[in-house]
Amino acid sequence: MVQQFVTFRVDGRLLGLAIDQVREINRVLDIVPVRRSADYVRGVMNLRGQVVVVLDLGARLGLGPMTIGPGSHNVLLKQEEVALLVDEIGDVVEVEPPALSPPPANLGGIAGEFIQEVAKLPDGLLAVLDVAKVLG
């Protein structure tokens, strides 16, 4: 069965999430920092009256804190009222199961534990994130 992934980039790396795990993608970047919380908690934002925690995906994956730029977006998850801050949004890609393989111990500086599987795309490798791990 063909699987669909939402792709995005953090620190230049191509990452993806299964499409059914993503609620929405937005550009609400008025993020209020929450001090004394984990370093990968970017802050909280008001999403249509709901308070949503934004995680700094760069910090979370060990790539270092991100800076908000023109391409920054929030990927809002379905599983929990949490958004992941990403540098750039890519496409929705379709991947045939044979193109999927288990993750290596480390993929471009990202610890393998955060990666569920790796998909071979024509233009490179897509690291599909393990949402549960990323949420901690």
Partner 1 sequence: MAGAVDEALLKDFVLDSHEHLNAVEPDLLAMESGGCVSPEAIHRILRAVHSIKGFSTFLGFDPLTDLGHAMENILTLMRDGRLAPHTEVVDALLAGIDRLQVMLRDIQAGETIAPCPETSRLESLLAEVELSPTGSHQCTLDGSPVLEAPSGRVTLRVDGGEALGAAEFTVERSEVARAEADGRSLFALWIDPEHDLSARGVSPESFRANLESIGQVLAADQATDQAGWRHWLLASLISDPELLAAAVEVPPQRIHPVAYSGQPTPAAEPPAVAEPPAPRRGAVKLRVAGRGELDTLELVVERRQVELAVQGIHCLYAVWVHRERDLAAAGRSLDQLQQAVASVGRVLAVDPDGPGPWRHLLAASKIREPDTVSLAYELPGAQVVQLPSQVLRQALGTAAPAQAAEPAQPEAPAETKTPSKTAEPEAPAGQPSPPAITAAPETIRVGVPLVDRLINLAGELVLSRNQLKLLMAGGDGGQGAVERVIQTVDLVTSELQEHIMQLRMQPVGRLFNRFPRLVRDLARRLNKEVELEIHGGEVELDKSILEQLTDPLTHLVRNSVDHGLESPQQRRALGKPPAGRMVLRAFHQEGQVHITLSDDGAGIDPERVAARALEAGLVTPEEVQAMSSGEKVNLVTRPGLSTAEQVNDLSGRGVGMDVVSTNLAKVGGHLHIDTRPGEGTTMLLRLPLTLAIIPSLIIGTGGQVFAIPQADVRELVRVRADQASERIEKVGDAPVLRLRERLLPLVRLSRLLGLASYYTDPASGGQQPDRRVRLADRRHGLDYDPEAPEPEPPRERRAGSERRRRFAGDINVVVLRLGANRYGLVVDELFDTEEIVVKPLARHLKESGCYSGTTIMGDGRVAMILDAAGMARQAGLRFSRIAAREARRRERARQERAAARRKTRSVVLFSCAANQYFAVPLASVAHLEKVAVQDIEPVAGGECIQYRGTGLPLLRLEKFLPVKAISSKATHLFVIIPRGPTPVAGIAAAQVVDILDTDVALRPYRGPVPGLAGIAPLRRRLTLFINMEELLATFVDQA
User: What token pair was written down for 63?
Assistant: 């790539």
Indicate whether 132 belongs to the interface with partner 1 (CB under 8 A): no
CA distance 32 to 9: 23
Compare residues 46 and 101 and give the one whose CB is closer to partner 1.
46
Determine which residue in the list 24, 27, 51, 109 makes contact with partner 1, applying CB under 8 A.
Answer: 51
Element (H, E) at 17: strand 13-18
Nearest of 110, 119, 118, 116 to residue 130 by alpha carbon: 116
Indicate whether 30 belongs to the interface with partner 1 (CB under 8 A): yes
Within 10 A of 25 (CB to CB), how many other CB atoms are there?
15
Indicate whether 38 belongs to the interface with partner 1 (CB under 8 A): yes
Burial of 29 (0-12, 13-18, 19+ CB in 10 A): middle
Indicate whether 136 belongs to the interface with partner 1 (CB under 8 A): yes
Determine which residue in the list 35, 69, 102, 122 makes contact with partner 1, applying CB under 8 A.
Answer: 35
Subset of residues 68 to 97 that bind partner 1, contact rule: CB under 8 A = 80-82
Indicate whether 55 belongs to the interface with partner 1 (CB under 8 A): yes
> Which residues bind to partner 1, rule: CB under 8 A?
30, 32-38, 41, 43-46, 49-53, 55, 80-82, 136
